[in-house]
Chain A
Amino acid sequence: MSAELVQFRLPDVGEGLEEAEIVAWFVTAGQAVERDQPLVEILTDKAQVELPSPTAGRVESLAVAVGDIVKVGTVLVTLSAASQPATAAPATAATPRADSPPSASPPAGGPALAPAAAPRGAPPKGLRPKASPSTRRLAAEMGVELAAITGTGPGGRILADDVRGAATAPGPAASAAPLAVPATTAPSAPAEAGASVRAGTSVGVGIGVGDPLGQLSAGVHPLRGIRRLTAQSMAQSWSSIPHITGMDEVDATALLDARRQLREHAGERAANLTPLVLLCLAAVRALRRFPLVNASIDVDAGTITVHDRVHLGIAVATPDGLVVPIVADADRYGPIGLGDAIAGLSEAARTKRLRPEQLRGGTFTVTNYGALGGRFATPIIRPGEVGIVGFGRIRERPLVVGGEVVARPALPVVFSADHRLIDGDLSVAFQEHLLGLISRPLTLLSEV
């Protein structure tokens, strides 16, 4: 078998990426690999990505270890590439027939950056997973890659249940460009993590992964993964943004009532219409009313950028740490569509299937810390944004209504603004407007 050594380097998998952390190796030295077989999992600025092998062949040596932080262009692994799939066949005993047509093989040798640049290469051209359109749609919705599933139907047809099974099982099929968040339902890090590296996205990621909240053994631990990224970005925010935070409370009776009516009216279609969705809608409407709150400021460049659209970040707490998936163009949704969008992102976050682009480009953030409890908080603004609104837990409190003290569901609303751009007058006006929209949800209809 003629072979050529290929050095596989860290590709630039996202705009502006300079370095990435090695999260897990899926192969070991001496192992035979197929083209497009995942080699290694890396963590970039916010997304966890599997890099597929650019070629069929054998792993000669691994150049970096789990936990290493490496620059783009660094050699990750050396492969001996079979120069022709035909001659490679004996080496890949598991599947003697190459999945890809011969013409699809990349030229061996060279840095081999281009073929590997796409996270988790597209399924090989030609052979198409056998599945009906409804099953394909289900797979797309659940973020499951059909090519990685073995169908149990006649002739190897992939059935809907196969897709559902793959979605719940941690594994290659369900991990296309996943986010570094283990499923909340599976506080992973199994004892045999080393053995099941395919599933072990958490291997070597450092603290917080799958550990019960606040639990970590005494001693020094590496700062890795989402914890490291969060640490960097929060420190940057806190040291550069002078925060001003306002706190208030609003009667949520009408909001809860509106939500109930919408649910009754729209039935199944409104299955994802939670109170948070209406609160997000109110935030979006308030941002349309005060565009300067939906902006960025760059003191060095001397510019203020007011954003045309609202790309709304939703802060989600996971066992791995804080994740903020973005509802792109949140301002074009009505309540039902926004609910579906948020539910889709939450599901993707829970099942680790957020795509990198779903974590980029936010213009404003909402944190629903009240889901965990608590009344008032001082949310920290995400770098690149100038505001963040937080909602506390709705609890019955004595409120004055029509001169009478009555028990009403009270919603704490807090708003942090970047004082470099937003003064107290605007901050208060924004928050008051938001409170007004929440207390009289019918007014949401009158907003642009």
Chain B
Amino acid sequence: MVVGEVAEREDVIVVGGGPGGYAAAIRAAQLGRKVVLVERDAIGGVCLNVGCIPSKALIEVADRYHAATATGEAPWAGLTLSASLDWNGVQDHLRGVAESLSGGVHTLLEANGVRVLRGTARFLRPGRIVVDPGGRAADGSGAWAGAASHHDYDQVILATGSRPVAVPGLALDGERVVDSTGALFATTLPASLAVVGGGYIGVELGTAFAKLGVAVTIVELTERLLPGIDARLAQVVTRRLKALGVAVHTGTRALGVTERGLLIAPAEGPSATSARAATHEPAAAATTARELEAERIVVAVGRRPNSDDLGLDHVGVTVDATGRVVVDARRVAARGICAIGDLTDGPALAHKASAEAEVAARTACGIAASFDPAAIPAVVFSDPEVVTVGPTVEQAEAAGAEGVRSFRFPFAASGRAATMARPEGHAELVADGAGTILGAHLVGAHVSELAGECALAIELAATVEDLAATVHPHPTLSEALAEAAHGLEGFPLHVALVRRRG
């Protein structure tokens, strides 16, 4: 024992203050526990400070700017607008939104009696955690900011989240080659931007920067954008991206950074080895590899869990091949240890982490709980937006559901969509033979706000009849869901049903 190594006793220690961690801390405190929350950076985590929230703030800015400045499109409804862009002002706005929300979470934690500790947490042994208060002091002197403190716990909830995956050949330098955070908070707006990764982060960023007047190219390894999303939804987004002037290279691999931009090649083309050769000897690979001009390159190809530096091997927590902490439905990873969010299996989404936080907090407080939602909604803030909740027809059939059918209601038939001049996209409902709604898949302007109703219907095992008989307000986009339900009943009101053969 080292002198001074006196451990404080805590009921619950939550490691990580993102949307999973702070929710778990508040709930555990509300359940009567003495709770400590350890956060090495800013309360609110990636989501609130450098992810979901600032990116949505940027998308909103880009939408408004684009609406006022879109060239090549005829003035709409007699309006001619103009706008000017001050990137520093945009930056202030993004930071301001994040800081105000982070401050709000801080207040909530305080109000619930949660103690917040700055630093990184690590298990010493079962029952004890050491918190290192964040490496260096703020003055950059390299001195320790303070002494490490020891804490004995009854229960730990791990919510350390994830970080972007690195791509070989595309080392981040924080200037030219950046991750999504670096793109959002760059000091300058680039003239051209190459986005490596056509998943939801790449598509959202690419769309926003294109609307801000940046020449955007998206490079995606697989055959289409948004590979995890139903192709019928993704194609609407892809069409719009191309209309915005975004160059989309699917089935394409990013090989490395060049002086002028990014070296790419067909995905089936040169292997990694020949890619390196190509970088050094451009002539040799000239047949397949080519160069994209780009002032800045954003790498957004996925995320990996932050499970490495927690001392998990000291406490018997199992980590799978991808670094994710293995948990059961109660979110228990080992005796007295729960884990939630990106650190564990499943989609890396803030709302999934928050929902798991509720379960983990209950488990840690000795209340029976398990995480088994019918569906975890996924939303892409692309243009137009995409919502997918539950299985598609194909997925439902593959899972063994019987009598699966679906109906797609086009927003072209929605009064509200017409008033917004956003007729593109559709709302599709998937139901089984008994009429129970299994899935909802939407693409269209502002459909993110319909995701909650879709999730509620699926989670409550609502039937098509339930949804059709629920009065939906007019004129709103939500009518599309009722219309799709009517369509599944065989009696759509606002679209003419094509009579079935035979």
A contact set with B: CB distance below 8 Å: 97-101, 124-128, 130-133, 136-137, 140-141, 153-158, 308, 329, 332-334, 336-337, 340-341, 344
Contacts and interface: CB of A to CB of B under 8 A. Distances in A.
B401 A154 contact: no
Interface stretch (B76-84, B253-261, B458-466): B458-466
Contacts of B436: 130, 154-157
Contact of B154 (A98, A128, A332): A332
Nearest to A143: B368
Contacts of B374: 128
Nearest to A126: B399
Interface string B1-43: 0000000000100000000000000000000100000000000
A131 B399 CA distance: 17
B370 A154 contact: no
Going nearest first, the 5 A-B pairs with the smallest beta carbon separation are A126-B399, A130-B461, A155-B436, A155-B434, A157-B461
A156 B434 contact: yes
Interface in B452-479: 459-461, 463, 465-466
6 contacts: A100-B400, A153-B461, A155-B435, A157-B436, A158-B461, A332-B154
A97 B366 contact: no
Given A155-B436, A156-B436, A132 B459 contact: yes
Contacts of B466: 154
Contact of B400 (A99, A132, A156, A337): A99
Nearest to B155: A332
Contacts of B463: 154-155, 157
Contacts of B432: 155
Contact of A132 (B32, B401, B460): B460
B204 to A, nearest CB: 29
Contacts of B489: none
Interface of B: 11, 32, 127, 154-155, 336, 365-370, 372-374, 398-402, 432, 434-436, 459-461, 463, 465-466
Contacts of B127: 308
Contact of A337 (B366, B372, B373, B434): B366
B126 to A, nearest CB: 8
A308 B125 CA distance: 13
A333 to B, nearest CB: 7
Contacts of A329: 154, 336, 366
A230 to B, nearest CB: 28
A124 B460 CA distance: 20
B366 A341 contact: yes
Contacts of A125: 399
Given A128-B374, A154-B466, A344 B399 contact: no
A100 B368 CA distance: 27
Interface of B is mostly: loop
A344 B400 contact: no
A154 B435 contact: yes
A101 B366 contact: no
A336 B367 CA distance: 12
Nearest to A159: B461
B399 A127 contact: yes
Given A132-B461, A154-B463, A140 B399 contact: no
Contact of A141 (B368, B398, B402): B368
Nearest to A269: B32
A336 B32 CA distance: 10
A140 B435 contact: no
A98 B400 CA distance: 8
A344 B368 contact: yes
B373 A133 contact: yes
B17 to A, nearest CB: 23
Contacts of A336: 32
Contacts of B32: 334, 336-337
Given A140-B368, A155-B432, A341-B366, A101 B398 contact: yes
B363 to A, nearest CB: 11
Contacts of B155: 332
B352 to A, nearest CB: 15
Contacts of B399: 101, 125-127
B398 A332 contact: no
Contact of B461 (A99, A137, A155, A344): A155
Contacts of A101: 398-400
Given A97-B402, A133-B459, A154 B465 contact: yes
A210 to B, nearest CB: 28
A133 B463 CA distance: 16
A124 B368 CA distance: 22
Contacts of A133: 373, 459-460
A420 to B, nearest CB: 28
A141 B372 CA distance: 14
B154 A131 contact: no
A293 B309 CA distance: 38
A131 B461 contact: yes
A140 B402 contact: no
A128 B435 CA distance: 15
A99 B436 CA distance: 18
Contacts of B460: 132-133
B372 A127 contact: no
A125 B367 CA distance: 26
A97 B436 CA distance: 18
A154 B435 CA distance: 8
A99 B400 CA distance: 7
B400 A97 contact: yes
B461 A140 contact: no
A97 B402 CA distance: 9
A128 B401 CA distance: 9
Nearest to B372: A136
B230 to A, nearest CB: 18
Q: Which of A126, A155, A156, A157 has the most CB of B within 10 A?
A: A155
A225 B460 CA distance: 42
Contacts of A97: 400, 402
Contacts of A140: 368-370
